[in-house]
Amino acid sequence: MNGRQYHTHSEFLEDSIKNGEIKFIIHADSAFNKIYYFGEFLYELGYYFLFTFLPLTTYNIYFILCSLISTLLIAAFATLIERKVMSSVQRRRGPNKIGLFGIFQPIADGVKLLLKEIIIPSKADLLIFIFTPIYSFVLSLLIWLFIPFSLTTQMLSTPLSLLYVLAISNLAVFGIIFSGWSSNSKYSFLGSLRASSQMISYEIAFSVVWLIIILINGNLDMVNLIYFQTEYVINFIPLLPIYFIFFIIILAETNRAPFDLPEAESELVAGYNVEFSGMGFAFLFLAEYSNIACMSAIITIFFFSNDIGINYLNFIYFGLKVTIHVIIFVVIRATLPRFRYDMVMNIMWKKILLFLIIMFFFYFFLKFILIYTEMYLMLI
Amino acid sequence: MEHIYYINNVSSIIFYVIFFFLVISLIFVFCLVINVYKRSRYYEKLSAYECGFDPFDYAREPFSIKFFVIAILFLIFDIEIIFFFPWILNFSYLNLQSFISMYIFIIFLLLGFFYEYLSKCLNF
C-alpha cells in the first residue's frame, strides 16, 4: 500500500477515493486483516439494510417477533386444549404420548404438516389458492398487535384500537370466500358461501355490541376500558345480557360449534378447506384457532378486565381469563349439537338483531339520563 | 390518564403487514418447492374431492340468490353502523337536533328492516 497504517475502514476509503480508487479492494498486510475488513464491510452493510427496510427503531422487531411467536404458540396450544378438554368431556384421555401430558403434540402436528405435499387441484385458481392461507394467517397475526394485555402493554398503541380490531375482524370473511372459490370443487364453494354469509350476518350483531361498548367507553381506546373497569366495576355486572349474546355471536363468527355447519367434521370432510393439504391447511387451521383466542381476549377485555399493579402478574391473570374462555368454547363444542343453517340465520336476523337494537337503546337512554341529569359528577 | 406511546406509529402497520407476509410466504414457498422434488401427480390426486366419485359436473355453477341478498343486507347495515360511530363518540356534546335527526335516520333503517322481514327475504 502507501506505507500508511489504516486503523479504520473510513480512513482507507478516504485515501482510496483521493487516489481515484473507489473499488473495494482490501489491501491488507495479513490474511487476518483481510477477513477483519471484510467483516467490517458486512457489518456496515447489515446496518444499512436494517435501517432502510425495517421501521424506525429496533423496538418494532421485538414486537413483530412477539406477535408472531405468541400467536403461533397460542394457536398451537389452543388445539391441544381442545383435544384434551373435549376428550375429558367424553371420558377418555386426549393425546398424551408425545410430551408430558401431550405438550409437544402441536409441534409434532406442525412438523408433520410442514413436510406433507401441498396438492394443488387442477383448474384451481393458483394465485388465490396460494394467497388464501397466507392472507388468513397474516390477519390473525395483525389483530393481536392492537390488543392490550394490561394498562401499559400494547404492541401497537393507538387511541383507535377498537376501530382497528373491528376492521380487521371484518376482513376475515375474505379468507373463507377465497378458499372456497379457488378450490375447483362445488362442495367447497357452497360451503364457503354458507360460511361467509353466516359470518357476515353475525358481523352486524358483532358491530352493534361494539357500539354499546364504545358508548360506555366514551372513546375508541381499549386501554380506557381496562382503566375504568379497574377503577369502578367490571363490565360484566351492568352488561350481563350483552356478555351472553356476545359469546353466542363470537361462536358464530369463528364458525365454531354449535354454528359449525360449514366445517362439520363428522359429516363433511372439511367444508371449504377440503382441497388444502399440508402447510396451507396448517395456516388456515392456525388462523381459526388464533381467532378463537383473540375473540376470547376481546371478551375478557370488554367484560372482565382488571389491572393489578404489576405487569407480570397482569399477564398471568389475563392469560388465565382468556384460557377459561377458550375452555368454555371447547366445552360448548363438546356439549351442544349443531344448528341447521336456516336456524342459524333465523336466530341472527329475527332474534338477536332486534334484541340488540333494544339493548342498545336501553343503555343509550341510561347514559343519556346519567349525563343530562349530571349524575356522572357523583362518579368523580 | 397518561398514554404510553412507543416510538412506533400506527402507519408502521404497513411494515408489520409486509414483514408477516414475507415470512409466511417464505414458509409456504418452501413447502411448494418440496412438491417439485416429489413428482407424483396423477388424476386421482388432482381432481376435486367428492367422496371417491368422479366429479359429476362443472364446478363453477350458478348459486342461489339468497346469498347475494344477505350480502346486500350486510352492506347496508354495516354502513348504517359506520354512521353511528361519530354520533356515539360525541355523546356528551350533543344537542336535541342531533338526537332527532339520528332518530329519523334510525327509523328509516328500521322501516327497511321490517319491510325485509315481512316480505320473507330473511326466510331460508
- CB contacts, 8 Å: B81 with chain A: 204, 207-208, 211
CA distance B20 to chain A (A): 6
CATH pick for B10-118 out of 3.40.50.1820, 1.20.58.1610, 1.10.10.60, 3.30.1490.20: 1.20.58.1610
Q: What is the arithmetic mean of pLDDT over A143-167?
A: 88
Cα separation of A365 and A372, whole Å?
Answer: 10
pLDDT at A379: 67
pLDDT at B4: 41
Structure-model confidence comparison of residues A261 and B90, the more confident one: B90
Q: A185 and B61: CB-CB below 8 Å?
A: no
- CB contacts, 8 Å: B24 with chain A: 134, 137-138, 283
pLDDT band at B53 (very low <50, low <70, confident <90, very high): low
Q: What is the pTM of this model?
A: 0.83
pLDDT at A4: 62
A266-275 pLDDT tens trace: 555 667 777 8
pLDDT at A225 over 50: yes
User: Which residue among B77, B89, B92 places its CB closest to the CB of A371?
Assistant: B92
Q: A341 and B124: CB-CB below 8 Å?
A: yes
pLDDT at A45 over 60: yes
Residue with cell 415470512: B23
C-alpha cell at A63: 414486537
pLDDT at A105: 93
User: Which residue among B15, B34, B88 places its CB closest to the CB of A211?
Assistant: B88
Cα separation of B91 and B94, whole Å?
Answer: 6
CA distance A359 to chain B (A): 15
Domain ranges of chain B: 10-118
Kindly write down the DSSP assignment for every residue of chain B, as one continuous string: ------S--GGGHHHHHHHHHHHHHHHHHHHHHHHHTT----HHHHSPPSTTSPP-S-S-----HHHHHHHHHHHHHHHHHHHHHHHHHTGGG--HHHHHHHHHHHHHHHHHHHHHHHTTTT--
- CB contacts, 8 Å: A123 with chain B: 59
pLDDT at A1 over 70: no
pLDDT at B35 over 70: yes
Task: Tell which of A66, A154, A184, A213 to mutate to test the B interface (max B CBs under 10 Å).
Answer: A184
pLDDT at A151: 87
C-alpha cell at A374: 349530571
What is the pLDDT of chain A when averaged over all its residues?
A: 84
A58: exposed, middle or buried (Cβ count in 10 Å: 0-12, 13-18, 19+): exposed
pLDDT band at A48 (very low <50, low <70, confident <90, very high): low
Chain A's closest residue to B26, CA to CA, is A134
Q: A59 and B8: CB-CB below 8 Å?
A: yes
Domain ranges of chain A: 9-53, 120-379
Name which of A45-54, A124-133, A142-151 the model is least confident about. Answer: A45-54
A309-336 pLDDT tens trace: 888 889 999 999 999 999 999 999 999 9
CA distance A47 to chain B (A): 17
pLDDT at A143: 92
The CA-atom distances, in angstroms, between A269 and each of A165, A177, A261, A262 are 31, 18, 11, 10
A2-35 pLDDT tens trace: 456 666 667 766 766 666 554 455 555 666 777 7
Structure-model confidence comparison of residues A179 and B7, the more confident one: A179
Q: Give the rounded percent of residues in chain A with a pLDDT score beyond 90.
A: 47
Q: B19 and A211: CB-CB below 8 Å?
A: no
Structure-model confidence comparison of residues A173 and A266, the more confident one: A173
Angle at alpha carbon of residue A246, lines to A229 and A254, rounded to 5°: 120
Name which of A26-30, A207-211, A293-297 the model is least confident about. Answer: A26-30
